[in-house]
């Protein structure tokens, strides 16, 4: 059963990833060979580009340019964070009608899936015949249904590499080091820090994620215990950790900002700005300094440092997981194949097969991935709430690929 | 003329780099084949290890372990920041005498070169026959005499890659982005951000280094000009920028810390702690927000973010310049060759040959590299004080190697 004949539009939305252009090129390839899509329009900056009829003719792009773009991080068409209102949808359908658009592909995370869902519902109401397909992408790995998300493997590879190096840095010049990792609702990316461990005493020694309440006193006690044992401590903390003492279950970052009377930015999907500031890391470091670098705890002169990995995590070039890159490409292809061959609306999910690592691609309905996010399962988190389990490491390893060497002189093994 | 027969000790000191273990392995290789060094002791944590007689037998390390260690970032023997006092030197000579040590190799930056110089002077005074050799290493690239320093090329490659990705991130989701880069006295590493530029409108659009006074009002005017022209702005700022209005010529970071009554840490070489905090970036972002996100300037709702690249710059694995790695190895070998064949004290410098990139290795006296640092020459800095020149880019390109792709759709070129 083949889909309707017509043109298609594709956009990219939300935070960029290192492989989001692989998905774009996957959409282009599959659209070209679909037999039913005559023109593929790239919308500049997502829905904003559709509203403005600001399009790129993607079938005019040469093969070599596309291959270079596929290996270039961040959204090649530009991105946007915008939840369309009903009137936006009708304006978009006008633009689409004018350009003969019958297919709408949108590459993004849960908020972008919500956008596709909204557009899909509005199209049905408006009786505008439009196939709406979401192509998954997020470094947070928090989309539901799918085993994992394109973009996660490469970001996780960056985080694991960063901790591999930073743990060795901390080993060379001992002290307490706190690294803040992206992750608004889910701890998958922060958890990837643990993939860097090879030797018994390798960090991160403590891992805090949004799935477990954060208590400052427990955190300080954890750091003290590790420092007394190893003479150093590396900590991975999600930017989205939740204050366990707060009745509203707000993030530590939000409460901190409130105390310092700093205004907090929100986007149209009601997400609070967490990244792009070193405040949480600096605050945690000052708490460690004030709480532990005193007589009776760890003594004066404690070396405490914090880094916030920041936007590098989602757009760093050259630290890409090969599995992630090829899966991102295939998700783009599959979206087109499903939309045209099955004549349906939805999203692409990856199901992991048993045995040696491989995935198969399946279809799911938009409502299953839109808006709501997925958290790390309990089996991935240690009972103490300050670490990950071997089950998580087994899950994540094939997504990230082999890491750089972490060699140690025989004389330095104790 | 061959050097005296005896044992040798080698240590690593100061901030780690991604290739400092290449130099260590270079020392081991050359010591093994020198014909005059019977045993090579690795001192754990530099001078601290010599004082404690805390040694590793480096000739006992297998070839494959050494090759893996060479490709592992951060100081494999552990590092230290400690300026030895006279009594420390005499204690070290006692330990050395006991272990038959006649050669002292120390891998580090200008502070470590000062340590070697101090030990060398003290040895002469104590009439302890010791060849003292410094092996250059620093991500700051601020050693004198040498064309450039091992460790710089790889850190510069990391910085250039980070800006390549972050510029594309900023292009996808426009706003003002400030990235703080390491560099206490010299702007070489911050300047490397400019290597990421390929297209006309690529960032960083502004580059601020310690060599040029920093004025907040000029900075805001610069950012405003770029934003009005491109609708976005990426800024690279050295952590060590100097406040142009301060009569004491202190760093912006230091003045900020003083205002907020925050204690500033210093090491025994009197260096102020600049890294390991996001405070400078956050402060600059708040200045931009307060100064430009207002009616009459750029209007309300400006998206302003800051990241501090932090310790990742000096220890990130897998983003290594091949030229840097092989030069770091050779500097280790050369130090041993010079110390044994020429029976002298000193440091290794690289002299760049005219024409296609290559270097030759030369000897220099310790006093020429100890303590004092080198700044970027005027020819590397643009007249406006907010950018680098083509001369700098030509200088740095061969040290960093080819960067990852920065592809652009034809339809997105305007």
User: Considering chain A, what is the average pLDDT of its residues?
Assistant: 95
User: Considering chain B, what is the average pLDDT of its residues?
Assistant: 95
Q: What is the ipTM of this complex?
A: 0.96
Query: Shortest Cα distance from A78 to chain B (angstroms)?
Result: 4
Which domains, and CATH codes, for chain A?
6-150+319-368 (3.40.50.450), 152-317+376-412 (3.40.50.460)
Please tell me the pTM assigned to this model: 0.97
Judged by CB atoms closer than 8 Å, whether chains meet at B165 and A81 is answered as no
Nearest alpha-carbon partner for B186 in B223, B220, B149, B215? B149
Residue A116: its H or E element: helix A110-125
Mean pLDDT in residue range B351-377: 95
Mean pLDDT in residue range B263-285: 77
Considering only alpha carbons, which residue of chain A is nearest residue B161? A317
**What is the share, in percent, of chain B residues with pLDDT greater than 90?**
90
Mean pLDDT in residue range B170-187: 96
Exposure letters A365-383 (e unless 16+ CB within 10 A, then b) = ebebbbeebbbbeeebbee
Mean pLDDT in residue range B229-237: 98
Distance, CA of A53 to CA of A47 (rounded, Å): 10
Q: Quick one: pLDDT at residue A184?
A: 85
Q: Over the stretch A360-402, which tens digit does the pLDDT of each residue have?
A: 999 999 999 998 899 999 999 999 999 999 999 999 999 999 9
Q: Which of B88, B111, B140, B345 is catalytic?
A: B140
**Is B140 annotated in the active site?**
yes
pLDDT at residue B379 greater than cutoff 60: yes
**What is the share, in percent, of chain A residues with pLDDT greater than 70?**
96
Q: Quick one: pLDDT at residue A47?
A: 97
Distance, CA of B45 to CA of B53 (rounded, Å): 11
CB B35 within 8 A of CB B2: yes
Q: Report residue A163's pLDDT band, with 50, 70 and 90 as the boundaries.
A: very high
Judged by CB atoms closer than 8 Å, whether chains meet at A173 and B15 is answered as yes
Exposure letters A219-228 (e unless 16+ CB within 10 A, then b) = bbebbbebbe
Q: Give the lowest-confidence range in A278-282, A334-338, B106-110.
A: A278-282
Q: Give how far the C-alpha of residue A129 lies from the chain's centroid of Cα atoms, to the nearest Å.
A: 32
Q: Report residue A410's pLDDT band, with 50, 70 and 90 as the boundaries.
A: very high
Q: Report residue A343's pLDDT band, with 50, 70 and 90 as the boundaries.
A: confident
Distance, CA of B259 to CA of A288 (rounded, Å): 22
Sheet holding B101-108, edge to edge: B55-57, B37-43, B6-12, B101-108, B131-136, B346-352, B359-364
pLDDT at residue A218 greater than cutoff 90: yes
Q: Report residue B160's pLDDT band, with 50, 70 and 90 as the boundaries.
A: very high
CB A285 within 8 A of CB B277: yes
Q: C-alpha angle A267/A269/A270, rounded to 5°?
A: 65
Size of interface A-B (CB pairs under 8 A): 246
Q: Quick one: pLDDT at residue A270?
A: 66
CB A148 within 8 A of CB A348: no
Q: Quick one: pLDDT at residue A29?
A: 98
Q: Over the stretch B206-217, which tens digit does the pLDDT of each residue have?
A: 999 999 999 999
Enumerate the residues of chain B whose CB falls inside 8 A of the CB of residue A411: 42, 56-58, 60-61
Strand partners, A106: A11, A134
Residues 149-178, chain A, touching B (beta carbon < 8 A) = 161-162, 164-166, 168-169, 171-173, 177
Q: Quick one: pLDDT at residue B184?
A: 85
Strand partners, A241: none
Q: Over the stretch B311-341, which tens digit does the pLDDT of each residue have?
A: 999 999 999 999 999 999 999 999 999 999 9
Nearest beta carbon to residue B307 from set A70, A276, A412: A276
Strand partners, B101: B7
Strand partners, A179: A236, A307
Mean pLDDT in residue range B165-184: 96
Q: Quick one: pLDDT at residue A261?
A: 59
Give the tokens for residue B42.
Answer: 């690795």
Of residues B267 and A92, which shows the higher confidence score?
A92
Enumerate the residues of chain A whose CB falls inside 8 A of the CB of residue B168: 16, 72-74, 315
Nearest beta carbon to residue A312 from set B71, B76, B165: B165
Enumerate the residues of chain A whose CB falls inside 8 A of the CB of residue B165: 18, 73-74, 311-312, 315-317
Q: Over the stretch B118-132, which tens digit does the pLDDT of each residue have?
A: 999 999 999 999 999
Q: With an 8 Å Cβ cutoff, is B81 touching chain A?
A: yes
Judged by CB atoms closer than 8 Å, whether chains meet at B407 and A75 is answered as no
CB A161 within 8 A of CB B316: yes
Q: With an 8 Å Cβ cutoff, is B411 touching chain A?
A: yes
Q: Over the stretch A45-57, which tens digit does the pLDDT of each residue have?
A: 999 999 999 999 9
Strands B359-364 and B233-238: unpaired
Q: Quick one: pLDDT at residue A241?
A: 97
Torsional sign, CA A172, B192, B70, B14: negative
Judged by CB atoms closer than 8 Å, whether chains meet at A306 and B169 is answered as no
Q: Quick one: pLDDT at residue A264?
A: 62
pLDDT at residue B195 greater than cutoff 60: yes
Distance, CA of B30 to CA of B24 (rounded, Å): 10
Query: Shortest Cα distance from B304 to chain A (angstroms)?
Result: 8
Q: Quick one: pLDDT at residue B264?
A: 62
CB B61 within 8 A of CB B28: yes
Instruction: Please report the DSSP string for A271-315 in residue order.
Output: PBP-SS--HHHHHHHHHHHHHHSSTTTT-S---EEEEE-TTHHHH
Nearest beta carbon to residue B282 from set A171, A278, A307: A278
Judged by CB atoms closer than 8 Å, whether chains meet at A307 and B312 is answered as yes
Considering only alpha carbons, which residue of chain A is nearest residue B302? A265
Q: Give how far the C-alpha of residue B120 lies from the chain's centroid of Cα atoms, to the nearest Å.
A: 24
Q: Report residue B256's pLDDT band, with 50, 70 and 90 as the boundaries.
A: confident
Distance, CA of B371 to CA of B242 (rounded, Å): 20
């Amino acid at each position: 059963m083949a889909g309707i004949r017509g043109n298609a539009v594709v956009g990219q939305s939300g935070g960029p990833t290192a492989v989001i252009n692989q998905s774009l090129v996957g959409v282009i390839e599959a659209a070209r060979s679909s037999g039913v899509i005559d023109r593929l329009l790239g919308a500049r900056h997502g829905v904003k580009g559709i509203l403005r009829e600001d399009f790129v003719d993607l079938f005019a792009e040469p093969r070599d340019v596309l291959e270079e773009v596929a290996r270039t991080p961040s959204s090649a068409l530009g991105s946007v964070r915008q939840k369309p209102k009903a009137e936006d949808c009708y304006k978009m359908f006008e633009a689409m009608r004018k350009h003969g658009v019958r297919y709408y592909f949108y590459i993004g995370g849960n908020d972008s899936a919500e956008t596709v869902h909204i557009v899909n519902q509005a199209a049905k109401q408006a009786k505008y015949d439009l196939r709406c397909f979401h192509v998954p992408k997020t470094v947070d790995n928090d989309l539901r249904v799918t085993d994992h998300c394109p973009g996660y493997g490469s970001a996780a590879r960056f985080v694991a590499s960063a901790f591999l190096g930073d743990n060795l840095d901390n080993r060379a010049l001992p002290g307490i080091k706190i690294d803040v990792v992206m992750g608004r609702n889910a701890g998958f990316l922060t958890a990837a820090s643990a993939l860097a461990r090879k030797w018994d005493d390798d960090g991160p020694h403590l891992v805090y994620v949004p799935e477990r309440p954060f208590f400052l006193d427990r955190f300080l006690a954890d750091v003290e215990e590790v420092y007394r044992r190893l003479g150093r401590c590396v900590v991975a903390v999600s930017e989205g950790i939740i204050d366990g003492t707060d009745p509203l279950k707000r993030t530590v970052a939000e409460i901190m900002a409130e105390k310092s009377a700093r205004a907090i930015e929100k986007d149209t999907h009601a997400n609070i700005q967490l990244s792009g500031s070193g405040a949480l890391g600096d605050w945690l470091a000052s708490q460690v300094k004030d709480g532990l670098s005193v007589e009776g705890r760890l003594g004066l002169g404690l070396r405490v440092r914090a880094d916030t990995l920041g936007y590098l995590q989602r757009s760093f070039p050259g630290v890409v997981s090969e599995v992630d890159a090829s899966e991102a490409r295939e998700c783009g292809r599959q979206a087109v194949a499903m939309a045209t061959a099955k004549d349906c609306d939805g999203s692409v999910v990856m199901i992991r097969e048993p045995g040696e690592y491989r995935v198969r691609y399946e279809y799911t309905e938009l409502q299953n991935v839109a808006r709501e996010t997925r958290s790390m399962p309990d089996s991935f988190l240690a009972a103490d709430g300050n670490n990950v389990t071997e089950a998580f490491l087994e899950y994540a390893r094939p997504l990230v690929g082999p890491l750089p060497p972490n060699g140690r002189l025989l004389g330095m093994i104790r």
